Amino acid sequence: MAVGKVLQFREPYQDTIRNYINNINICNKEYVRTGDEGYMVMRAKYIKEVEELKTWIKENEPKT
């Protein structure tokens, strides 16, 4: 039952995390295609957002 509560807690954040990861992939592709360093700046921002959100989830999810 405890695992179910953890997954239920995490579920609302999954779309946001997937979106950030998709944006990271887009930045990677566009950087390779164009060489524009701005994509690497945005990539770093998205990676930081994912890390911070995952850390927050871990700290606030129900303990098993």
Would you say residue 40 lies in a domain? yes
* Domains of the chain: total: 1
- In a domain, residue 20? The reply is yes
How far is it, in rounded angstroms, from Cα 21 to Cα 9? 20
Domain holding 30, by residue range, is 11-59
Is pTM beyond 0.85 here?
A: yes
DSSP letters spanning the chain: -HHHHHHHHHHHHHHHHHHHHHHHHHHHHHHHHH--THHHHHHHHHHHHHHHHHHHHHHHSPP-
**Closest C-alpha to 42, from 24, 25, 58, 22:** 24
Compute mean pLDDT per 10 residues along the chain, 64 residues long, and list them. Answer: 84 97 98 98 98 97 83
Query: What integer pLDDT is reported at residue 64 of this predicted model?
Result: 66
What pLDDT sits at residue 11? Answer: 96
